[in-house]
Amino acid sequence: MKYFLWKCVIIATAVVLPIFFFIKENPFDTTSFLSLEEKKMVAWQRARMQINPGRTNHLEIFKDMQKNSEPLKNVNSQILIGDLPKEKKLLTIGISSVQRPQGSYLLDTLQSLFFASSPSEQKHFIVLVHLSDPDPKWLDQILSNISRLLKPYILARQLVVINTPLKSYLPLKNLKKKLNDTSAYVAFRSKQNMDYAFLMNFATNHSDYFLMIEDDVKCAPGFVTQIATILSAWEDKPWVTLEFSQLNFTGKLFRTGDLPRFVHFLLLFYQEMPCDHLISHFFDLLMQKKPIQFFPSLFYHMGNYSSTEGKLNSLKDKEFEENDIGFPINPAASIYTNLQVTNNSVPMNAYSLDKNFFYTKGAEAGNHLTVVLDIPAKVFRVQVLTGSDLKEENQLKEGQVELGYESTYGNNDCDNYTLLGLLVNGILNKQVLSEKSGKKVKCVRLLVTATSPSAIVIRHINLWIK
């Protein structure tokens, strides 16, 4: 028994003493970003790794790269468009964007953010865009397009665009090469880490939470409400990042109080690895054992080309390849139906932009599923997909799609529905060409015209709007 107690004392001493020795005998440079609390955290991590050598020893590099903390003192990010809100918001949505060889998706992403949010949701967030490409011609063109297409959101202080001069960046030459990475790719991802760091540094004081997304995604309708609901449940729980997408760095949510630490971490390790890999080490530093992910995803990839070296990105959804019409932007809406709802399936699944679907055990003539937009919009194409994605089963064989316009009585429903088209093999994919196409659509109704003998899967109701 005595031997066991002495063994415990020796192990405890071996763990604890290096912490105090490291703080006392190896003080950090006074220019370091680290606070005393962070120094203790690093020391604790180093002591843990001494008794667990299998851990990635990224904190060894932490001390060696302190000198790279200096740039934040000289950062001069400038507002190019918009004004910051006068009061603190719930959420800042951050996007960093550079020039792509095959064209930009940024405008589509920005439109998706606002179109997928109701006016009440928009009051709770701001969008912060960091244009981080130094090409003045590209900057002028993008700024002009944003100012023209998104003017209402700029005037409402809901959209702010910034830029950080190149003189604020760390060196991008003679960087460390990993595996078979080319010098160009190492420079790209190293600069990208700094792009993200400067964006987050600017975002620190304007909201309670910060959500990072990339510049080539589409957003699920009502994503703000879904995030706010999860935050209310997780407010008092320990976490570093909550994840609302499986795409690289998209959908990562931080408390803004944690941003300064992550900014420092990105700048210190900027040339080591891509940001989405670095974040796993940041989790380890702050004791989050594994990612905390929520499904379904709220953000989905829309781009065809990578932002580096003109590489083709193969993530394009096959349902939109045939006519190359781009991706749908489903505006915020409510869903109403008199179809039978099961416990495991909800009508909103049919309107989401992910791979979820709405399942109903049967349908009779006169049943409907109706999308009622929060704000009427100019719809120029509608796509309705029913049945299994893999097999031609559970299709709605007898049905039609109708468009409705604002009710003269001001209620949530529509009057004066007009026929857009009939389902063929459970599918409708049609451009809006009627004489009323200039009017704003408020309702899209899928109407069952004959009783179905089997269950039905409504996979997607997709809208394209101007």
What count of other Cβ atoms lies within 10 Å of the Cβ of residue 9?
Answer: 10
Is 70 exceeded by the pLDDT of residue 286? yes
Is 60 exceeded by the pLDDT of residue 466? yes
Show me where the domains of the chain are located. 2-64, 74-316, 333-465
Average pLDDT, the chain: 80
Nearest 10 degrees: CA dihedral of 123, 157, 153, 296? -50
pLDDT for res 54: 37
Of 14, 24, 10, 5, the closest CA to residue 49 belongs to: 14
Lowest mean pLDDT among 150-154, 175-179, 422-426: 175-179
* pLDDT cut 70: percent of the chain above it: 75
Q: Which residue is associated with the tokens 């709220």?
A: 298
CATH (residue range 74-316): 3.90.550.10
Q: Are 359 and 457 in contact (CB under 8 A)?
A: yes
Three-state DSSP at 126 gives strand
Say which amino acid occupies 213: I
Q: Around 447, how many Cα atoms within 13 Å sit in the side-chain half-sphere?
A: 16
Cα distance from N-terminal residue to C-terminal residue, the chain: 78
pLDDT for res 410: 60
Residue 31: DSSP 8-state: T
pLDDT for res 382: 95
Q: Which residue is associated with the tokens 């080309």?
A: 305
Of 74, 48, 90, the closest CA to residue 227 belongs to: 90
CATH (residue range 333-465): 2.60.120.260
**pTM higher than 0.85:** no
pLDDT for res 276: 87
pLDDT for res 179: 66
Mean pLDDT of 280-294: 86
Cα dihedral sign, 256-261-265-267: positive
Between 438 and 45, name the one with better pLDDT: 438
Q: Which residue is associated with the tokens 């220019």?
A: 31
What count of other Cβ atoms lies within 10 Å of the Cβ of residue 94?
Answer: 22
Mean pLDDT of 97-113: 90
Of 267, 263, 271, the closest CA to residue 187 belongs to: 271
Three-state DSSP at 153 gives helix
Say which amino acid occupies 21: F
Is 90 exceeded by the pLDDT of residue 344? no
Lowest mean pLDDT among 2-16, 92-106, 323-337: 2-16
Is 90 exceeded by the pLDDT of residue 4? no
Is 80 exceeded by the pLDDT of residue 409? no
Q: CA 110 to CA 123: how far, in whole Å?
A: 16
pLDDT for res 104: 86
Say which amino acid occupies 352: S
pLDDT for res 388: 83
Mean pLDDT of 399-428: 83
Q: Give residue 36's pLDDT band: very low, low, confident or very high (50, 70, 90).
A: low
Is 90 exceeded by the pLDDT of residue 330? yes
Beta bridge pairs of residue 445 = 370, 402
pLDDT tens-digit series, residues 256-275: 999 988 998 998 889 989 99
Q: Do domains 74-316 and 333-465 have the same CATH topology?
A: no
